[in-house]
Amino acid sequence: MRITALAGGVGGARFLNGLLHHLEAHGEVPEVTVIANTGDDITLYGLRVSPDVDTLLYTLGGAVSESQGWGRADDSQRVQGELAAYGAVPQWFTLGDLDLGTHIVRSQWLGQGQSLSEVTGRLAERWGLPGRGVRLLPMTDTPVETHVVISDDDGQRAVHFQEWWVRLRASVPAERFVVAGLDRAAAAPGVLDALRTADVILLPPSNPVVSIGIILGVPGVRDALRGSAAPVVGVSPLIAGAPVRGHADACLAALGLPSTTAAVAGLYADFLDGWLVDPADAGVRLERARVEVHAEPLLMTDVAAASRIAGAALELAARLSGPRSAG
Ligand code: GDP
Ligand code: CA
């Protein structure tokens, strides 16, 4: 079964790790293509950092800091201390010493002219992703960066998404998101094919606006989802109206939307077939009646929980592919 998933960082990675465990436990050899958000990418100290790609690499590679959800386990910050001693900025973005190895080698390979897809493929090999049946693709090879328009004492301005998310902790309202480079970005090699040829398409509980929403903005991606014969099943990142972690509520507010699972499903209404919600949202009514809603506890407390949730998503997809292929 060919599975294609769109993913941001922590929510996406935890779900996908659960998916791999689920498939492995059922004796299935995973064939999973992951299309990763690169809108979070940022250049720091001359190094190209891809936060969501790195979270996917470390989580699926078994090296993530479980307590943080991102970064390497047992990392230290000696280099960052040195940078601070030089007065180098910014200081608000944490870069671990082991993590810096990834950014250095990514920057070196990009500097040699390799594409982000090629570089990501090489990084994924080190973390054993192909061996687990995973192909990790950046959504595009074109440098793309999400910026957030805010108004503060300095007036109205756009800041990099990471500055809004990490330094400001989304405390200043986002007026809108502007994704620099997205209009002229092309889907990375394999991305559109993976959507067209999938048996199942999954939307993990990633941020609907700044993770999944950015991937959907890559030219061709949304059309590929709309035209897909495979069932598209999503997992709600909100439980009882609240994001489990992060500031998805502040992102939805920027679009003028309430923080509800129905609002998130509404963002996918033109291609969504199945929607997993937490039992706390079991009574939810979606605008589009065609979407099959299934309730399942959605807190990914550990790998076993994430694996159970992934299994429920596949079960829902299997139920949906029957009548669809017959019709
Ligand atoms: P980021 O790039 O690291 O912010 O990660 P993602 O975009 O992939 O995922 C962020 C989203 O994951 C947030 O909106 C959270 O609400 C959601 N999330 C995190 N943990 C859980 C969980 O245990 N269950 C569910 N349903 N959603 C979660
Ligand atoms: Ca992210």
Q: How do the pLDDT tens digits run along the chain, 327 residues long?
A: 999 999 999 999 999 999 999 999 999 999 999 999 999 999 999 999 999 999 999 999 999 999 999 999 999 999 999 999 999 999 999 999 999 999 999 999 999 999 999 999 999 999 999 999 999 999 999 999 999 999 988 899 999 999 999 999 999 999 999 999 999 999 999 999 999 999 999 999 999 999 999 999 999 999 999 999 999 999 999 999 999 999 999 999 999 999 999 999 999 999 999 999 999 999 998 987 689 999 999 999 999 999 999 999 999 999 998 655 443
- In the reported structure, the alpha carbon of residue 11 is separated from the centroid of ligand 2 by a whole-number distance in angstroms of 9
Q: Is 175 within the bounds of a domain? A: yes
Whether residue 189 lies inside any domain: the answer is no
The pocket of ion ligand 2, defined by CB under 5 A, consists of 8-9, 40, 52
Q: Do the Cβ atoms of 98 and 72 come closer than 8 Å? A: yes
**In the chain, how many domains are there?**
1
Residue 179 lies in a domain: yes
Q: Which domain holds residue 157?
A: 146-184
- 49, 66, 104 from 109: Cα distances, Å: 13, 28, 9
Structure letter (DSSP) for residue 242: E
Answer whether residue 153 is part of any domain: yes
Residue whose entry in the numeric block shows the structure tokens 């399942």: 296
pTM over 0.85: yes
Residues with CB under 6 A from ligand 1: 7-12, 52, 55, 205-207, 211, 235-237, 239, 243-246, 248, 298-300
Backbone angles phi, psi at 63, to 5 degrees: -120, 10
Residue 10 Cα to ligand 1 midpoint, Å, equals 6
Cα–ligand 2 centroid distance for 252 (angstroms): 15
Residue found by looking up tokens 């993770």 in the block: 211
* Pocket-testing residue among 56, 210, 244, 298, ligand 1, by greatest number of atoms within 8 A of Cβ: 244
Handedness of CA 160, 11, 5, 24 (dihedral sign): positive
**Ligand 1, residues 64, 68, 206: which to mutate, most atoms within 8 A of Cβ?**
206
